[in-house]
Structure 1
Amino acid sequence: MTELPRRDPESGLPFAEVTRRIEWSDTDASGHHHNSVVWRFVESCEAQLFRELGYLESYFNGAPRVHQTVDYENKLYFGQNTTTKVGLTKVGNSSLSFWFELWGEEQGDRPRRRAASGRFVTVHVAQGTETAIPWPDDLRQALLGTATSD
């Protein structure tokens, strides 16, 4: 049975949350996280969202990014726990718009702080093609929370 994703109380759209620790390989010579960590953690959380919806493989087989933006706000350090959240802001005909936040959890004298936030957009492209097409109705219904159970 698939876990049901959490839904934003205002929009009704789903979001997911993943916790991870900053590992030594996630840091750079300056002693804090490397900028690429943000996207790896966001993609992991994005996968969790579609896993909870029951559409992991079908989504990732045809959902290239067409836009992404990130604001780096605070540093993350080796051993620090993090929380990444990814959710939808819009379900379009052939596109999906997402928000994300990556938080560094309290560690010693460091308070909980948002390390990064941003947005990204994916489109539905069938394998072997290069043109965006509409998302399948069942996926749209699952995202919008209008799916019916048998």
Structure 2
Amino acid sequence: MDGHPGTTFRTQVEWIDTDAAGIYHNSTVARWVEAAEARLMAGPGLHDYFRSAPRVSYHADFEAPLFFGQEVTVHLEVTELGSSSMTFGFEVWGEEHGGRPRRRAARGSYVTVHVEQDHDHPDGARSSPWPAGTVAALQGQGRAQSPA
């Protein structure tokens, strides 16, 4: 995934993220990935990105459990920037914990599409090209960012 805008986000499995046995809920991955996406977009100042970029596709493969208190590392990268869509790839890693080795817990991809308000469209919005400033900001990143 080198050469594309990306970021690394670190967190840990909180009790609210788990079932009664202390194993994480799969849905937590989406929240962590979105937190990484927010960090990626904040880096170049794309604070309005989320208002106009709904997800249209999401796929995840869950490979290993994560446990309460375990440190988690999320790697997120833009893998394709189309004229009106953006594809992201992600990996979620569970760090060494309680004698368990570091393992990839999940991986996947999702697609967002740039939309703008269109009161003449039946849904009130329509797909449109990414603004030039968004494209320039993302292309200017060009490599993964780590948290400060």
- How high is the TM-score relative to the length of structure 1? 0.86
The match for 2:121 is none
SS at match of 2:116: coil
Deviation at 1:30, TM superposition (A): 4.0
Q: Which has the higher contact order (CA 8 A, sep 6+)?
A: 2
Worse-superposed segment, 135-144 or 125-134: 125-134
The match for 2:56 is 66
Alignment counterpart, residue 51 of structure 1, candidates 19, 42, 50: 42
The match for 1:108 is 98
2:82 matched to 1:92?
yes
* CA RMSD between the two structures: 1.7
SS at match of 1:69: strand
Deviation string for 1:34-92 (max 9, x for gaps)? 0110000000000000011210x221110000001000000000000000111111110
The match for 2:126 is 131
SS at match of 2:48: helix
Structure 1 residue ranges without an equivalent (≥5): 1-7
Report the number of matched residues: 137
Kept in 1: contact 2:52–2:114 (CA 8 A)? yes
SS at match of 2:106: strand
Deviation at 1:126, TM superposition (A): 1.6
Cα distance in 1 between the residues matched to 2:141 and 2:95: 34
Cα distance in 1 between the residues matched to 2:141 and 2:12: 35
Kept in 2: contact 1:18–1:85 (CA 8 A)? yes
Kept in 2: contact 1:91–1:144 (CA 8 A)? no
* Letter matched to residue 125 of structure 2: E
2:65 matched to 1:38?
no
2:13 matched to 1:22?
yes
The match for 2:136 is 141
SS at match of 2:52: coil
Identity of aligned residues (%): 47
- How high is the TM-score relative to the length of structure 2? 0.87
Stretches of 4+ aligned residues off by more than 4 angstroms: none
